[in-house]
Amino acid sequence: MNNEALNDIAAPEAIAVLEPVVEPPAEVPVEPSEPAAPALVVPSLDDSSLYIHRELSQLQFNIRVLEQALDESYPLLERLKFLLIFSSNLDEFFEIRVAGLKKQINFAREQASADGIQPHQALARISELVHVQVQRQYAILNDILLPELEKHQVRFIRRRYWTPKIKTWVRRYFRDEIAPIITPIGLDPTHPFPLLVNKSLNFIVELEGVDAFGRDSGLAIIPAPRLLPRIIRVPEDVGGAGDNYVFLSSMIHAHADDLFQGMKVKGCYQFRLTRNADLALDSEDVEDLARALRGELFSRRYGDAVRLEVADTCPKQLSDYLLKQFSLSESELYQVNGPVNLTRLFSITGLDSHPELQHAPFTPAIPKILQNSENIFSTISKQDVLLLHPFESFTPVIDLLRQAAKDPHVLAVRQTLYRSGANSEIVDALVDAARNGKEVTAVIELRARFDEESNLQLASRLQAAGAVVIYGVVGFKTHAKMMLILRREGGEIVRYAHLGTGNYHAGNARLYTDYSLLTSDDALCEDVSKLFTQLIGMGKTLRMKKLLHAPFTLKKGILDMIARETQFALEGKPAHIVAKCNSLTDAKVIRALYKASQAGVRIDLVVRGMCCLRPGIPGVSHNIQVRSVIGRFLEHTRIYYFQNGGEEQLYLSSADWMERNLDKRVETCFPVEGKKLITRVKKEMESDLTDNTHAWILQPDGTYSRQTPTGNQNPRNAQAALLDKLSLQALIVR
């Protein structure tokens, strides 16, 4: 690929997706003989120009993910993985975010948030941006990644390059494996346009001729069954050495004639429809949430259309026909130069034959204090244990539960489950505990988006083992990550707890950065016990000693700590806030941070995804810096640090600074105590604040600028540094 083409793909302006909204400071009139002095105009904190639209900000994050596919510091298959994650993220963005905006418009309930942008305006901007980025995505795939993979003998063989041997093999494969289970649908008055499943691969076929019944509608639809692989490996004796693949879509294109005997196929074009996948379940109007949810899950596959993807070779009259069938506008049509279902390429990103094209494996470490501990309860009773995943192993959390299941002194186990999987080691241990006579209570959030079906299976499995299963609280998702174990020791009942920022999912613990705290602190464990009591039973809010919890005390606690830091700054004392989270959208929290900045508080924010705050605005957010770190692992920790006049306070949390987390969910925010642990977390946060290779800085106009080493700076990669320090891997590929 030539340099000019690469520059087009990676052009900086391609990611400058939000228009500047901050007006330049006005000038104060002066006498002609004196130099003009600008007067700083400070907008009201309610001014819409101070806020970024959340959906546009989320789109920015997805674009930063796509940028990683151009980063040559990653192994080649990892770059492909980022490109596919962009596709997966974009699917969910349309299924949930775009669908939500369209729903507001359709029901005449348009409502602008703090940024002042109306839903129809946001949709127009989203369409403009996504069309540009999808074009870039396919250019990166076709012009950079696939040619690079071919150099390593990983090939996706297009039809025009099929050898006679491959053509013969494809024909046999199509005849034996595809044709028997595929169902072409001719379109006529007795065969109306079929109801197509969300995100399924389909083909629209243009036909010529009359069939056996005299029908000549000229059009047909071929739905590709979901059980068919989207890419098929070609045997070495057919395709030659290396890893050779053929797309299912290519096979269907090549043999569409075989599906319409006696008729001529003038054209066959793949397309994919994205639908609204947000569940419309009103939990207040149902008597049995699990039963209602099972019924609603089926309807998710057939929600309202929100996006149409078609091959860019599809004639306009056919794409217009499809748009009409789905009641979509031309702005919702995306023409792509390649497969419409790119996420199916994930199946080749872990090729055993090419470990050199992937990140080197690593072994998460287990802290020395736990390595030789036969009784994990004894260890935790002496001191709190803090783990940072994936650099440190999630195994101690599983081991704690396994020991609890077998320990004759353990009386009861209580646990929240948001995303864990029905067949995880955590669930195995809970099942064993229930079967061993422990009192097991699981608070399962059935409405964890896209994990609802798995959680229903999980609930059934635990109930069959004899555990008590609770579905949380009506109207409030239970997003807290906590485990409580009650153990009889010396005639007394002692509590042990696990609190985390992530889910009880061992797989995610290898991919996401999250903290786990194992503790037997009396006050904190008592708070966890009280929160379980609130979730399981009924009653007034119980007073907590250390734990902040949404929807009751967390938001107020955060605002109070920001206000306290603001007061320290007003008194001329050092004041500093460092916060790390996935998203920052809550307008009240943003206004509080603006006030703190105006008072002189230094504020460092590490926000991976959506951020509606605009940093660097003179007189408002000039003391605030926002950075986003995108790396090998998904940044998922939530950390809140306050200098507090020298009496430092540091919290870990399951909650982002979003309205839904602070107002509409059950969340926990727990303190890290002791100078040693606080210092440790501060140093680990410092890695994010000094990263100059995978960090992006949010600009006042809403764009992001990637950090690179300058001058004599050494490259600093936060995640690689933590791997070096905490894990046991033999090699890190940077």
Residue-wise pLDDT tens digits, 325-364: 999 999 999 999 999 999 999 999 999 999 999 999 999 9
Which tokens in the block code for residue 374? Answer: 């036969």
What pLDDT is recorded for position 36? Answer: 56
- Half-sphere exposure for 496 (CA within 13 Å, toward CB): 27
The CA distance from 353 to 87, in Å, is: 25
Q: Which residues contact 493 (CB under 8 A, 6 or more apart)?
A: 411, 486, 487
Contact between residue 198 and residue 309 where contact means Cβ atoms under 8 Å apart: no
Q: What is the CATH T-level fold of the domain 153-282+303-351, as seen in this structure?
A: polyphosphate kinase like (3.30.1840)
Beta bridge partners of 698: 704
Taking alpha carbons only, the member of 120, 87, 67 closest to residue 309 is: 87
Reported as a pLDDT band with limits 50, 70 and 90, residue 72 is very high
- Tally helices (H) and strands (E) across the chain: 22, 27
Total residues belonging to the chain: 734
Tell how strand 649-653 and strand 665-671 pair up: antiparallel
Contacts of residue 105, Cβ cutoff 8 Å, sequence gap at least 6: 119, 120, 123
| Share of residues in the chain with pLDDT > 90 (%) | 76
CA pair distance 148, 140, nearest whole angstrom:
11
CB-based contact 181:112 (threshold 8 Å): no
Which residues have a catalytic role annotated?
A: 479
Q: Look-up: residue for tokens 């590929």?
A: 733
Token couple for 273: 């429809």
Q: Give the pLDDT score at 324.
A: 96
Cα separation, 550 vs 472, in Å, equals 13
Neighbours of 56 (CB within 10 A): 21
Band the pLDDT of 420: cuts 50, 70, 90. Answer: confident
User: Who wins on pLDDT, 450 or 365?
Assistant: 365
More confident residue, 475 or 298: 475
Average pLDDT over residues 645-663: 97
pLDDT for residue 208? 87
- pLDDT at position 285: 47
3-state secondary structure of 382: helix
Of 470-484, 520-534, 614-628, 678-692, which range is least confident? 470-484
pLDDT the model gives residue 212: 64
Averaged confidence pLDDT in the chain: 89
- Enumerate the β-bridge partners of residue 671: 651
Would you say residue 17 has pLDDT above 70? no
Q: Looking at residues 476-489, what average pLDDT do you find?
A: 95
In this predicted model, what pLDDT tens digit does every residue of 262-291 receive, in sequence order?
Answer: 889 999 999 999 999 876 555 444 445 555
Express as a percent the part of the chain with pLDDT over 70: 89
CATH class of 549-726: alpha beta
Residue 673 has pLDDT above 70, yes or no: yes
Of the candidates 414, 656, 413, 670, the residue with the CA atom closest to the CA atom of residue 535 = 414
For residue 96, what is the DSSP state?
A: I
Give domain limits for the chain. 3-18+53-135, 153-282+303-351, 368-542, 549-726
pLDDT band at 541 (very low <50, low <70, confident <90, very high): confident
Residue 301: is its pLDDT beyond 90?
A: no
pLDDT tens digits for range 134-172: 999 999 999 999 999 999 999 999 999 999 999 999 999
- φ, ψ of residue 241 to 5 degrees: the values are -65, 155
The confidence band for 302, taking pLDDT boundaries of 50, 70 and 90, is confident
**368-542 has CATH 3.30.870.10 classification:** yes
**In this structure, are residues 602 and 623 in contact, taking their beta carbons and an 8 Å threshold?**
yes
What are the helix (H) ranges across 289-394? 289-300, 316-325, 368-371, 376-382
User: Is 438's pLDDT higher than 90?
Assistant: yes
The answer to whether the 368-542 and 549-726 domains have the same CATH topology is yes
pLDDT digits (tens, 9 = 90+) for 495-511: 999 999 998 988 889 99
**Residue in the structure block whose two tokens are 């399951």:** 654
The number of beta carbons lying within 10 Å of the beta carbon of residue 618 is: 14
Does residue 294 carry a pLDDT above 50? yes
Q: Where are the alpha helices (DSSP H) in 21-111?
A: 54-67, 76-92, 99-106
Assigned CATH topology for domain 3-18+53-135: Methane Monooxygenase Hydroxylase; Chain G, domain 1 (1.20.58)
| pTM of the shown model | 0.90
Q: Measure the CA–CA gap between 361 and 375, rounded to whole angstroms.
A: 29
Please name every residue paired with 517 in a beta bridge, in sequence order, or none if there are none: 386, 499
Phi then psi for 280, rounded to 5 degrees? Answer: -100, 40
